[in-house]
A and B are shown apart, each in its own frame.
Chain A
Amino acid sequence: MIEMLSYEFMQRAFLAGMLIAILASVSGTFVVLKRYSMISETLAHSALVGVAVALVAGYNPLWVAVVVSILSAWLIEYLRSAFALYSDAILSILLSGSLAVAVIIVSIGGEFNNSLFAYLFGSILSVSGEDIATIFIFGFIALFLLLLFSKEFYFIAYDEEVAKTSGIRVKLLNYLLVTIVAIIVALSIRIIGTLLIGALMVIPTIAALQYQVGFLRTSLLSVIFAVLSVIVGMTLSFYFSLPSGATIVLCVLSIFVLSLLINKK
């Protein structure tokens, strides 16, 4: 462990990974309770469009991913409220649409295929000092907003209409939540990868729900599961040269299966 942390890139990856684990699991709790789990998958694919554009145009991929992901989140929320479309259908349409656009952009600038692979599956080696700064700046803003409005998000997740009738600005807060989720998803793709970030958002909460405890304890359990998965996953990834995102997801899946077995009725 100490040997592993003597590498500067591992220190960076650990720092970023832990923050992302906290962010993904806290926001994931609200997303799961709102029955909106698929949104993380869709936003991750939108973020990939941002990455593709940045790679071709020579910008910082993380920044562009954040911007495109936020725009996509707003589009989803707008379509959901303005048209009588099914939420899951909207997510599905935007997911495949984004992926198609990303693939076309990448195929135009063919030489960037290798870089894109790292964004699909996550690569701790690729986390730069600038990435760490971006992850921390946006990450702390996202975490601050999540905690500031956690009571409102919880109420809305419980019953959107009752929350509205009690004077909570549901529409505005729904936009805020998807914006925060978009930021977190975009920040995560360096470490976890587009194809796997959804798992880190959704599975820790589903595992925590198995223990049937109140909201605060569920949130705490979900954070512990996510952080633990990142620590163990990254360590295994370092020593066995495995892709970081996939290893982290397998860890969180193991925790989920254990939680299911422990709480089997």
Chain B
Amino acid sequence: MSIAFKSPIFDVKNLNFSASGQDILAHISLEIFHGEYIAIIGPNGGGKTTLIRLLLGLEKPTTGNIKIFGKDLKHFKEWNKIGFVPQRAAQVDQNFPATALDIVRMGRTSKRKLFSRESEEDIQAVDDAMAKMDILNLKDKMVGTLSGGQRQRVMIARALASNPEILILDEPNTGVDIVSQQNFYKLLSKLNKEENITIVFITHDIGVIADDIGRLFTINQKAIICNDPKAALSCEDMSDLYGISAHLVHNHKHEH
């Protein structure tokens, strides 16, 4: 994939983050460009989620610089250009009084003007987001009654409802079954290719996504950026990243 785009969406320079005297992230420098499809992998506690939280302004860096859409993070205001689906997305509170539609509508909240009612544009955007995620039939269902995979699609539809330019997903497959996971990756790929939405997501499922992604960031305190994910996913690199010995496992289909 060519990455000769205009200025990067995220421009991170020499980012350091430490908490309680421990270095969580050190010397991270990276750029994320329009139209990219990026996966972030790394061991638990390696700082993947922290990196995302720093990018979204939920944590303050100890030192370093983050620019979003060319603006310093401190002065950045157009947050609805960014859609965020957090780690616990599929594990919603069972009793929370929300239909799938209630949740997707939240995606328009920050766009609305004071004193204004839901506009035609809002209704259309919510409808489009639900159609893209194929959840129009779940509109009036309570989120607490949906399956993990369905909830995941509701949460992504909420993020899409603000018509974001970039979608950031933190381990979105937690609590989702295998079939839904596979459909999910197809969907992400479609959003990237057909809607030209930049996708950044954290995952453990390296094998499933390797064919599709453009770049791979491996994070274990430090960041290693690989422009060729397939080459990067060799055993040596994985052993290095996770600090354990990795072996290639071939999956054979059993024919009867």
Tell which of B79, B86, B114 touches A167, judged by Cβ atoms closer than 8 Å.
B79
Residues of B within 8 A of A151 (CB): 105-106, 109, 112
Q: Is B78 an interface residue when CB atoms closer than 8 A count as contact? A: yes
| A166-B162, A214-B97 given; A148·B114 CB < 8 A | yes
Tell which of A161, A168, A209, A215 touches B86, judged by Cβ atoms closer than 8 Å.
A161
Q: Is B12 an interface residue when CB atoms closer than 8 A count as contact? A: no
Would B96 and A158 count as touching, CB distance under 8 A? yes
Would B99 and A214 count as touching, CB distance under 8 A? yes
Bound form: Cα–Cα A86–B77 in Å: 30
Tell which of A33, A148, A208, A209 touches B115, judged by Cβ atoms closer than 8 Å.
A148
- Interface of A with B (CB < 8 Å)? 33, 148, 151-152, 154-155, 158-159, 161-168, 208-209, 212-215, 217-218
Among A166, A208, A214, A215, max chain B CB count under 10 A is at A166
Bound form: Cα–Cα A166–B98 in Å: 19
Shortest CB–CB separation between residue B54 and chain A, in angstroms? 12
Shortest CB–CB separation between residue A128 and chain B, in angstroms? 35
Q: Is B179 an interface residue when CB atoms closer than 8 A count as contact? A: no
Residues of B within 8 A of A214 (CB): 97-99, 101-102, 140, 142
Would A165 and B58 count as touching, CB distance under 8 A? yes
Of residues 7 through 63 on chain B, the ones whose CB sits less than 8 Å from some CB of chain A are 56-58
Bound form: Cα–Cα A61–B254 in Å: 81
Q: What are the nearest 8 A-B pairs in CB distance? A: A167-B79, A218-B97, A167-B110, A214-B99, A165-B84, A155-B106, A165-B56, A166-B110
Residues of B within 8 A of A163 (CB): 106, 109-110
Q: Is B137 an interface residue when CB atoms closer than 8 A count as contact? A: no
- Interface of B with A (CB < 8 Å)? 56-58, 77-80, 82, 84, 86, 95-99, 101-103, 105-107, 109-110, 112, 114-115, 140, 142, 144-145, 162
Bound form: Cα–Cα A162–B80 in Å: 11
Residues of B within 8 A of A213 (CB): 97, 142
Shortest CB–CB separation between residue B29 and chain A, in angstroms? 23
Residues of B within 8 A of A154 (CB): 102, 106
Please give 19 more A-B residue pairs, beta carbons under 8 A apart, in addition to A158-B106, A166-B110, A213-B142: A33-B97, A148-B114, A151-B105, A158-B96, A164-B57, A164-B58, A165-B56, A165-B79, A166-B80, A166-B84, A166-B107, A166-B162, A167-B78, A209-B95, A214-B97, A214-B99, A214-B101, A215-B97, A215-B99
Bound form: Cα–Cα A208–B162 in Å: 30
